[in-house]
Amino acid sequence: MNHKMPFETLISVTDLQALLESGTPVLLLDCEFDLAAPEKGRAVHAEGHLPGARYAHLDNDLASAPNGANGRHPLPDRDTFAAWLRSLGLRKGQQVIAYDSNGGAWAARAWWLLRWMGHRAVAVLDGGKPAWVADGHDLTSEVPEAVNEGDFAPGDPLVGGIVSAQDVLGNIRAGAAQVLDARDPSRFRGDANPLDPVAGHMPGARNHFFRDNLDGVGRFRSAEELSATFSALLDGKPAVLSCGSGVTACHNALAMEIAGLPGARLYPGSWSEWISDPARPVETGEA
């Protein structure tokens, strides 16, 4: 087992199994989700999850309600999110592990949010539930026992700052930062997509599809590979991370942390907020 504690970016199946067997208190968050069927993830969790895992719903737990002008997945209220974490039993400094079955697309949002709340001991299970199963470990449908409320309290963010649509608009003129868009290339390019009533990307943005952070079996690429990729895209500029609604942008934030390039800022509203105001400029085509 890798005894370096806490785990702050990724944890392997082997290390997680050893951690659980050691009796170390771990909060496991199952972040299973399907954008096209928002309640499917909860059903999949009920059918089979890692032992002791509790369900984190992207819309209800890892976001606040959208109002039509702030994107599809606005950040949760910090006090509300802290209270939810305490209700799961989270204690100060306790190790949190988030996972999903989608290459960490949703688990990375949980990772980013906990870091944003000042919680250092949070990591994503590399390879997620598929890696756990492939390694011969069982899933369970058992509901975890009730827990006493934890003593978690939010602290200073351990991630880069947050930028607004106005900040991004100003940056189009100034060019001080590089916007990296985590959506798939077809959406970035401007091909029609049912998720977005307006297609395209922000002027000056570059595309780095979040799945390109992963290798052929769904695990994160090496720190060296990720560093080379992001350094070439950024060309010395600080990063502003965007996507469809501020979720998979967090996957790029995690990848950059792994690469030793921390401090990227998140545009939480992302494309779904950007296009809510028709006055904001839109580009189509390749970057």
The C-alpha angle 37, 42, 45, rounded to 5 degrees, equals 125
Is 243 designated active site?
yes
**Are 185 and 207 spatial neighbours (Cβ–Cβ below 8 Å)?**
yes
Helix (H, G, I), strand (E, B) or coil at 277: coil
- Phi-psi sector, 127: left (phi>0), alpha (psi -120 to 50), beta: left
DSSP conformation class of 52? T
d(CA 228, CA 225): 5
**Prior bond to 268 cis, omega within 30?**
no
Rg of the chain over Cα atoms, rounded to whole angstroms, equals 18
d(CA 109, CA 42): 17
Q: For residue 76, give both structure tokens.
A: 């949760």
Instruction: Tell me how many helices (H) and strands (E) the chain has.
Output: 10, 9
In three-state form (DSSP H/G/I as H, E/B as E, the rest C), the secondary structure along 204-250 is CCEECCHHHHECCCCCECCHHHHHHHHHHHHCCCCEEEECCCCCCHH
Active-site residue (options: 19, 243, 249, 261): 243
d(CA 87, CA 55): 12
Q: Give the residues across from 55 on adjacent strands.
A: 30
DSSP conformation class of 135? T
Please enumerate, as own/partner, the contacts of 196-199 that have beta carbons within 8 Å and a separation of 24 or more: 196/244, 196/271, 196/272, 196/275, 197/275, 198/275, 198/282, 199/282, 199/284
Catalytic positions, please? 243
